[in-house]
Structure 1
């Protein structure tokens, strides 16, 4: 009589019973039945038909997300430009009141983050995001009519409450449309609007400043709010017609919607269901024992402290080097252009060589570390204003440490509730970091703000160590999972099938042993790559033809 097959060992770090968890089965039974037809749909179409659909999705979705994200970033950070055009003087701001306009924004951003994510999960994602955008557009418009600190802080609080859902909402949206290896490229496309749209916004604000500065009774900063608020409201209305998940949008027919849902089944992370009523507390508990959950939040915090300081005081600090208000706007443009160039170069490099993504994250904080130290140590002398501007200029790569980390959420986190919690916690770290960043720049330290710039340098040093530790944990996790799969007695096809079934059933990445953590999912690649790029599975990817988006 043959011996019984040895049961598969489940990693203690990830153990959540799959077969014996009756509650999990009852939670997901209706979901599996409702989506079982996607398994058949997936094999009904050719690669060429799926490729054609993907290009259609890109044409509609990416330009709109790029525009929305760029507008959101500009609305959020325009305060710094408005400050050099007289906002503080015209509204009678004193002491730390100006800093509190940024702090209150991120307080409400953080407080409303979790409920907004729940709203986005439970209701139609596209419609919810569009309504939020229209609301904050009206608020930005109203800032142009503010008379004092009370008006400004109330409006900024409301602005933070409505802007909070766009960034995490877009990350969830990417997960409903694209395969795992496509997440990073699509996310970097819309995130590049942070700098790309910044060039356009800077030129427009320069034009507004040139046309209104010096005219009696005209306050340029108010016209900046009028323009930005009107643009945001208009684009929000446009999103009502075009933005959403595959099951929501009007520009796909029923067959294309089924294809769009079927093509992401290989992610093994579920589909684009909204209005899921079952909030799974076991997935919340799982987040608390997942070290990557904490890494994501801490990385967001450390990267956002300098971000909060730069967005609030960057223009003021540059002007203190010896530049005029209009010059300050213009010399921000090269920094924005360089940011776009860096995004493209990092994407192309990660396509040609595997497993570099988190190394880029770590390397991106070293030039800013040196730049902030330079701004701290050099005197504010007009004779060396370009040298100090050079120190400011080399801080630009730090955004990679935050943006690339964001793309790990849809790639590595399975389970709708777990993804929502992880996304929310990451943006809590983002908010708290920005709050701290706006407050470490004290009015009494003007115009050089040395304690603030030194604090930013310290954050970059800590972030460097954290990213390397994070990567070590992911590598170790993949090695353990590969060892378990080598002894499970299943073929590669059987593992793939089970992974898809577990993903459709809303199992988490701990529950689903066939999800691999992506260290460097392809950013710009061709069809000759695997869905997940890890040091212990795929080796070096073989690239034969370049493609802007895979």
Structure 2
């Protein structure tokens, strides 16, 4: 009973802290509400008064300006971060493809040494995610993100100079170290420009780049690895790494002219557009500015570590990756269909393309209906059905359909998880950056302990370059063709993901009840004073 009471007090304190921080931010704002501020500082009209260039506009003019700002971000930022992430995942998988072309043999590396190099990538990756994300939240993304891309390209280009296992390990560590802040950074940037109704679909677009890299990465790798061997007396894998590194540097430099900073300091927006960009986000968050208060980077990280949402979303992210443990072994699964290597390779692309379409569709629907729980859980149910189809029959058509269902559900679930966590925690920005990074770190922990693929089938240019440290023990050749042990692992991942979704929903409902209770008490007091009811400033999205 005492524990329940303490938890209830903790929840109420968290809500009160949000209310207090919001009130403090309002006190600092330099605008006049002509009496309305005392009545309801969170109404759309009161929020609009913070922006001098907008306050006298008609609703039609505001709507036109809003659409113009959104269109500019859609045209400039969204395609660029999508392409950058596409290149990022091609780069991440490049050593897997290079291995097939003879890289491991040329460097005289054992399987253990190769796996150590793969693991060191994720060690470096985890080290920089949190500090890198926090620094990005403080400084200019259009400078930091391009520099990040250039930074991971340099050791990629240097990798062909390696002559032994040590050189390979050092380069892979440096690539991971440079890449760490990138994924959390673009998630943070997107959440700071799009309102909660727009966010799931926009995130689905760039999240889809991960899936598209699996569709187009194979043909790209094959076109180089099968044709350029011997040119200038270099093996094809060296050309492959050099070309990928050069493309990344070019894209990184070009991205400076496309990316924005934050809503208050993007140079290619007019003053009116700048105010509208800020107004959109603050209004969507119920009057809360993501840069409210004077939080330091450390304080933002501390707030994230204390928030139960951080660890709930970290658990959800972790289990979603367990549900995607098939990625490294998809060629091995498809190989059991008895087709040629070329056909096996080609069969991968339709599965991933369907996953991309599902991600877009579910993301659009989530924004349209302003709902997260079922849009995250239902696709995972589809994945569970898909796994059941994969492991219950040897019929090739049924198994292939099951693989498609599995990919569609887990790809959609991962997008919904990232968009939900950035909507639940709209501010302060440093805290939101830490939440995204911590969830991504927890996802990366099992991958850092990569061991040798025990399926003994070639990866055939598969884009997924990693698997969980425990995955190879489930995808064993004596489990062919159904891989039922591996199917059990995938079912656990998808099932635990659904339970994590329900846990997030439970906490959201609990905090919203506290907010409703407080709002009812305040409105009762306002009615006694002859004032109108106060607008509900904020509700946690469910």
Q: Whole-Å Cα distance in 2 between the matches of residues 493 and 189 of structure 1?
A: 42
Match of 2:422 in 1: 410
Match of 1:394 in 2: 405
Displacement of 1:460 after TM fit? Answer: 2.2
- SS of the aligned residue for 1:211 comes to coil
Task: Summarize deviations over 1:351-398 as a string: whole Å, max 9, x none.
Answer: 66563x32232233344445557767889xxxx777765554432121
Query: Structure 1's 80 and 17: CA in aligned 2 closer, same or farther, altered over 3 A?
Result: closer
1:359 corresponds to which of 374, 379, 382: 374
2:540 corresponds to which of 506, 517, 521: 517
Q: Whole-Å Cα distance in 2 between the matches of residues 167 and 60 of structure 1?
A: 18
Displacement of 1:426 after TM fit? Answer: 0.8
The answer on whether the counterparts of 1:102 and 1:438 sit within 8 Å (CA) in structure 2 is no
Displacement of 1:252 after TM fit? Answer: 1.7
Query: Structure 1's 259 and 88: CA in aligned 2 closer, same or farther, altered over 3 A?
Result: same
Query: Structure 1's 19 and 393: CA in aligned 2 closer, same or farther, altered over 3 A?
Result: closer
The answer on whether the counterparts of 1:242 and 1:249 sit within 8 Å (CA) in structure 2 is no
The answer on whether the counterparts of 2:129 and 2:181 sit within 8 Å (CA) in structure 1 is yes
Query: Structure 1's 495 and 30: CA in aligned 2 closer, same or farther, altered over 3 A?
Result: closer
Match of 1:430 in 2: 443
Query: Structure 1's 415 and 19: CA in aligned 2 closer, same or farther, altered over 3 A?
Result: closer
Query: Structure 1's 367 and 100: CA in aligned 2 closer, same or farther, altered over 3 A?
Result: farther
1:467 corresponds to which of 490, 501, 509: 501
Match of 1:112 in 2: 128
Match of 1:524 in 2: none
Query: Structure 1's 243 and 116: CA in aligned 2 closer, same or farther, altered over 3 A?
Result: same
Query: Structure 1's 131 and 181: CA in aligned 2 closer, same or farther, altered over 3 A?
Result: same
Q: Whole-Å Cα distance in 1 between the matches of residues 106 and 388 of structure 2?
A: 33
Give unmatched runs, 5+ long, in structure 1. Answer: 1-9, 497-512, 520-550
1:202 corresponds to which of 218, 230, 241: 218
Which shifted more, 150-159 or 138-147? Answer: 138-147
The answer on whether the counterparts of 2:48 and 2:54 sit within 8 Å (CA) in structure 1 is no
Match of 2:275 in 1: 258
* Alignment of 1:479 onto 2:513: yes
* Alignment of 1:167 onto 2:183: yes
Write out aligned runs for 1:198-347 (5 A). 198-212=214-228, 219-245=235-261, 246-266=263-283, 267-268=285-286, 271=289, 278-279=295-296, 284=301, 286-307=303-324, 309-315=325-331, 318=334, 326-347=342-363
Query: Structure 1's 291 and 257: CA in aligned 2 closer, same or farther, altered over 3 A?
Result: same
Task: Summarize deviations over 1:89-141 as a string: whole Å, max 9, x none.
Answer: 34334334443333222221111111111221222122011101111122223
The answer on whether the counterparts of 1:372 and 1:391 sit within 8 Å (CA) in structure 2 is yes
Displacement of 1:69 after TM fit? Answer: 1.5
Match of 2:457 in 1: none
Task: Summarize deviations over 1:41-64 as a string: whole Å, max 9, x none.
Answer: 442442112212221221111111
Q: Whole-Å Cα distance in 2 between the matches of residues 251 and 416 of structure 1?
A: 22
* Alignment of 1:15 onto 2:13: yes
Which shifted more, 357-366 or 77-86? Answer: 77-86
Which shifted more, 403-412 or 74-83? Answer: 74-83
Match of 2:491 in 1: 457
RMSD: 3.9
Query: Structure 1's 430 and 422: CA in aligned 2 closer, same or farther, altered over 3 A?
Result: same
Query: Structure 1's 28 and 393: CA in aligned 2 closer, same or farther, altered over 3 A?
Result: same
Q: Whole-Å Cα distance in 2 between the matches of residues 39 and 253 of structure 1?
A: 14
Task: Summarize deviations over 1:257-316 as a string: whole Å, max 9, x none.
Answer: 233223222124755769x97417665555455332211011111122354x44544446
Name the count of aligned residue pairs: 486
Q: Whole-Å Cα distance in 1 between the matches of residues 393 and 123 of structure 2?
A: 33
Q: Whole-Å Cα distance in 1 between the matches of residues 398 and 106 of structure 2?
A: 32
Match of 2:204 in 1: 188
Query: Structure 1's 385 and 89: CA in aligned 2 closer, same or farther, altered over 3 A?
Result: farther
Which shifted more, 237-246 or 293-302? Answer: 237-246
Task: Summarize deviations over 1:374-427 as a string: whole Å, max 9, x none.
Answer: 767889xxxx77776555443212122222111123211122232122122111
1:143 corresponds to which of 152, 155, 159: 159
The answer on whether the counterparts of 1:180 and 1:410 sit within 8 Å (CA) in structure 2 is no
Displacement of 1:190 after TM fit? Answer: 1.3
Task: Summarize deviations over 1:35-85 as a string: whole Å, max 9, x none.
Answer: 998433442442112212221221111111111121112222334433443
Q: Whole-Å Cα distance in 1 between the matches of residues 374 and 414 of structure 2?
A: 13
Give the TM-score of the pair, scaled to structure 1: 0.76
Task: Summarize deviations over 1:449-484 as a string: whole Å, max 9, x none.
Answer: 866664343222222222222223223332332233
Give unmatched runs, 5+ long, in structure 2. Answer: 1-7, 32-46, 450-466
Match of 2:35 in 1: none
The answer on whether the counterparts of 2:150 and 2:248 sit within 8 Å (CA) in structure 1 is yes
Displacement of 1:433 after TM fit? Answer: 3.8
Write out aligned runs for 1:29-44 (5 A). 32=29, 38-44=50-56
Displacement of 1:187 after TM fit? Answer: 1.3
The answer on whether the counterparts of 1:478 and 1:517 sit within 8 Å (CA) in structure 2 is yes
Task: Summarize deviations over 1:164-204 as a string: whole Å, max 9, x none.
Answer: 11221112212322222222122112111112344333332
Q: Whole-Å Cα distance in 2 between the matches of residues 297 and 326 of structure 1?
A: 38
